[in-house]
Chains A and B, each alone.
Chain A
Amino acid sequence: MWGVALRSILGSLPVLLIVSLITFGLMRLIPGDPAAAIAGMSATADQLALIRKDLGLDEPFVVQLVKWYGGLLQGNLGRSILMGQDVLQVTLIRLPVTIALAMYALVLTLLLGMVSGIVAALRQNTLVDQLAMVFSMIGISVPNFFLGLLMILLFAVHLGWLPTGGYIPLWQDPIGWLRTSTMPALSLALLQMGLLARITRSTMLEVLRQDYIRTARAKGLPRRVVVVKHALTNALIPITTVVGIIISLSISGAVVTESLFSIPGMGQLLTQAVLNRDYPMVQGGLLLTTTFLVLVNILVDIAYAILDPRVRYERS
């Protein structure tokens, strides 16, 4: 298993290098320079040139790239143009907010998605199955932005159960965190929930038709044991793959959800940074976010090895 982990880590280094290069290059390829965004329409050409010089944007592309990588090697991701703050410091404040939200969404997804998928598979072609699939289709089809607005109207304006937005850190007030994070997490989770429910259902149906399940039933094992121990354990392998994708989707989906619910996470930060051409913030923020997602994928690889002995043997 350690070999699996080591190989995954080594394999991820080129990914990070490529992502950082693409981000750096793309930010400079797209039109709209930070000086114009900072100074606005009333700026003269001289003022814009002065700002570019202050920001080091008048230097050749390669020089800027080398300087940035030089900074990275020393743990310096640069300073946000707009906020004037250290990119690493800002990201370390914002990323945990998004991760906490994504994890909450993941828990909801796993609980509701897997349970409804399993129930639908066990009650195939019944009303329960059809209802579960209809809800999962709604989850997949309705944009989370619209869903979020509907939830604000229902739970905040009409019922008054939850606040319309804002954020309270988990470590500051867990109950407050739950109150402020439930609607955003739910709006994020519903899309993934639908996805997971459908995949769990089809995987479970496939597994339940296998000979060894029939054998287990024929041996007279209780239904619960057959489903949980024999069927679900084997169905977990493709589901684990989906979990990795779900975390990625939650992080990227946070761009919209965080804006809607006024949550100070990475999604909101990176949107602002891209719109304002805050190069260091986009480069550094995306690199750290990618690093997190790469770690998630490494964990998924390790989970494969734990769940499926064949993976351990093949890779060793």
Chain B
Amino acid sequence: MARTGWGPLGFAAAMAFIGALGSTSALAQTYKCPKVGGDFVFGQEANVNSLDQMTSTTISTRNVAMNIFEALMARDESNNPITDLAESYTESPDGLIYTFKLRQGVKFHNGKAMTSADVVASWDRYKRVAAERQILDNVEKWEAPDASTFVVTMKKRQPTFIEFISSFSQPIVIIPAELKDDAPQQLRTIGTGPFQLVEFLPGSHVRLKRYDGYTPNTKFTERTGFGGYKQACFNTVTFRIVTEPGARVAGLRTGELHGVEDIPFTSVADLKKDNRITILPLENWWVHIASANASQVPTDNAKFRQAVMALLDNEEIMEASTDGNYKLNVGFQYPHQASYTDAGKEFYNQKSPAKAKALLAESGYKGEPVFLLTNKDYPSMYNASLVMSQQMQSIGIKAELKVVDWPTAVQMAAAPSPSPGWNFFFTGYGTQPALGALATMNFFMGTNPNYKPKPGQEDTVLAAEWENMNLKVDPKERQAAFVAMQKRIFEQAYVFPFGSLTKVQGVRANVVGYKPFRIPRFSNVSFQ
């Protein structure tokens, strides 16, 4: 019997979800805009270079493009996979064939009806140009037996396939077939979403308007995550690029901007007193992290890494990094997520200089310099490295900051092992933890894992558990593998997650329905 898959939690959970959804659909009222009209102006912190959602992995592109484009699958508010342009899908008993039925009546912004030929063309382009095209490596072929059916045949069973193709990191958005040969970063901006592009002036603004021909997904009654029942209430939405935090705050105060992202922590208290403004904390924006370099002395020594792990006072680090806007968080998932685990908590935030000194002595540390690779482009990373270096110096470790700009830091850290010139690299896991355990653990696998093992010395325990995470059919077994991976990473002190950072957004008080999410969503939002 073929089964319907709804996510990594498996068949039972998926069916329960469908059941719950069905009953919700029957009882709840479909969303209706309280008011239609107006131009919403959003102050965005980073430049949008391209709206090609298939090739860009940047948050700034996603902020805009995910209001324009849609994919077969999306994620709901709790990050579970849900159908979006697909009406439904089934998985064959052997897990090798996925059959997607498309929603009927969906039109592109150019007025053309969407068919499975467009889906085939979109997947073709994704396979050709997307940076994350390896998610289709295990796919044998995809085809369109009829106008409303799309069939994917796998090379071998991959229980996590739906999780991958519902990812919003670089989603396989559906575009009209005639755009399939558009060059990378040059995709013409025609999607099926509730908003369509009016004007894009890089460095200045992007303006969208309501797409009157939009067909909402009636399987839902409300927006959820990137999917659900979406309605554009505003006539237009303008994303204005305001890179300077002070200018974003000023714009929100004057009402020129109706919403902004990334309010500086120092302005939050002041803005809270202003009754014209609603402050919206976006918790768990990213996991603040330093990853160790296991290919360089002395961090090639597990005892040395464990000594540093035993030493760290994560509260002190996070406080300095975020001005108090953080939560201590064990590991790589957040407590509200289904896959959250606190495995390895005994190694987290130990604050034990005595234990650290003992481990340091065991490691045979000879006073070699330890380079903390950091940058000032992201002040929170720099502050974390500064505090960590001082904590390390307090027990006699010769910690030195190596401050470069962000692209240089990324290039140095991404160099294949042995990756020279650094011992700890300061970064943040942003999108991946939100996508789930699989996306985060991906950092530790492949040909260039984050912890930079010496060639031929990759951690075999991690590799085995990674296989289990990907190939076990039972979701419980996959979760168990994740638990084991996280614990192993803590034990071996491959990376040092300090805590989760809270990002602050704000809207004018007359804005209704705006709910912080990883990406600002402008459907089902209106003015009072």
Residues of A in contact with B (beta carbons under 8 Å apart)? 30-33, 36-48, 51, 54, 80-85, 90, 93-94, 149, 152-153, 156-157, 160, 163-167, 259-265, 268-269, 272, 275-277
On whether the beta carbons of A41 and B450 are closer than 8 Å, the reply is yes
Q: Please determine whether B442 and A157 come into contact, CB atoms closer than 8 angstroms.
A: no
The CA of A39 and the CA of B443, in the complex, are separated in Å by 13
Interface centre among A152, A166, A276 (most CB of B within 10 A): A166
Query: Which one, A36, A84, A156, A160, contacts B407 given CB within 8 A?
Result: A36
Rounded to whole angstroms, the CA-CA distance of A256 and B209 in the bound complex is 31
Complex contact B432–A84 (CB within 8 A)? no
For chain B, residues 27 to 51, give those with C-beta under 8 angstroms from any C-beta of chain A: 47, 49-50
Residues from chain B with a CB closer than 8 A to the CB of A80 are: 49
Q: A82 contacts B50, CB within 8 Å? A: yes
Known contacts A157-B254, A160-B254, A164-B247; A262 and B427 CB within 8 A of each other: no
Q: Say yes or no: is B412 at the interface (Cβ < 8 Å to chain A).
A: yes
Partner of B243, one of A93, A152, A259: A259
How far, in Å, is A158 (CB) from chain B's closest CB?
A: 10
8 Å CB contact of A82 from B131, B183, B185, B243: B185
Min CB gap A34→B, angstroms = 8
Q: Contact between A31 and B246 (Cβ–Cβ < 8 Å)?
A: no
Judge whether B240 and A153 touch: CB under 8 Å: no
CB distance from B249 to the nearest CB of A (A): 9
B201 at the interface (CB under 8 A from A): yes
In the bound complex, how far is the Cα of B446 from the Cα of A93, in angstroms? 42
Residue numbers in B under 8 Å from A264 (CB-CB): 201-204, 241
Bound-complex Cα distance A48 to B416 (A)? 10
Are B203 and A54 in contact, with the CB atoms below 8 A? no
Range, interface on chain B: 35 or more
Interface centre among A47, A165, A260 (most CB of B within 10 A): A165
**Residues of B contacting A41 with CB < 8 Å?**
410, 413-414, 427, 443, 450
CB of B241 within 8 A of CB of A32, answer no
B110 at interface, CB cutoff 8 A: no
B57 interface contact, C-beta 8 A: yes
Minimal beta-carbon separation of A253 from chain B (angstroms): 15
Kindly identify, within residues 47 to 82 of chain B, every residue whose CB is under 8 Å from any CB belonging to chain A.
47, 49-50, 52, 57
How far, in angstroms, from A163 to B242 measured CA to CA in the complex? 13
Q: How far is the CA of A43 from the CA of B186 in the complex (A)?
A: 22
Least distance between A283 CB and chain B CB atoms (Å): 16
Nearest opposing residue in chain B for A166, CB measure: B240
Contact A32/B50 with A164-B250, A165-B247, A264-B201 known, Cβ cut-off 8 Å: no
Q: Which residue of A lies closest to B185 (CB)?
A: A84
Q: Which residue of A lies closest to B184 (CB)?
A: A84
- How far, in Å, is B52 (CB) from chain A's closest CB? 7
Instruction: Pick from B49, B243, B413: contact of A262, CB below 8 A.
Output: B243
Are A36 and B411 neighbours in the complex by a CB distance under 8 Å? Answer: yes
Evaluate whether A40 and B448 lie within 8 angstroms (CB atoms) in the complex, with A83-B185, A164-B247, A165-B251 already known: no
Q: A31 with B243: in contact, given A90-B202, A164-B250 (CB under 8 Å)?
A: no
A272 to B202, CA, bound (A): 11
Q: Mark out the residues of chain B between 383 and 425 whose CB falls within 8 Å of any chain A CB in the assembled complex.
A: 404-414, 416
Contact between B443 and A83, CB atoms less than 8 A apart: no
- A33 / chain B contacts, CB cutoff of 8 Å: 407, 411
Q: Which residue of A lies closest to B414 (CB)?
A: A36
The verdict on B244 contacting chain A, using a C-beta distance below 8 Å, is yes
Q: Are B432 and A42 in contact (CB under 8 A)?
A: yes
Distance in angstroms between the alpha carbons of A85 and B52 in the assembled complex: 12
Chain B positions within 8 Å of A165 at CB level:
240, 242, 244, 247, 251, 256
The residue that B242 contacts in the complex, of A40, A46, A157, A262, with Cβ under 8 A, is A262
Name A44's contact: one of B47, B183, B411, B446 (CB within 8 Å).
Answer: B446
| B443 A42 Cβ-Cβ under 8 A | yes
Interface 1/0 per residue, B195-215 and A, CB below 8 Å: 000000111110000000000
Q: Which residues of B contact A149 (CB under 8 A)?
A: 244, 246-247
For the complex, what is the distance from the CA of A289 to the CA of B49, rounded to whole Å?
21
Closest-CB distance, B30 to chain A (whole angstroms): 37
Q: Contact: A83 with B450, CB < 8 Å?
A: no
- Give the shortest distance, in Å, between A4 (CB) and chain B (any CB): 38
Is the CB–CB distance between B184 and A31 below 8 Å? no
Q: Is A30 within 8 A of B408, CB to CB?
A: yes
Q: How far is the CA of A277 from the CA of B241 in the complex (A)?
A: 20
Contacts of A36 in B (CB 8 A): 407, 410-411, 414
Shortest CB–CB separation between residue A118 and chain B, in angstroms? Answer: 36
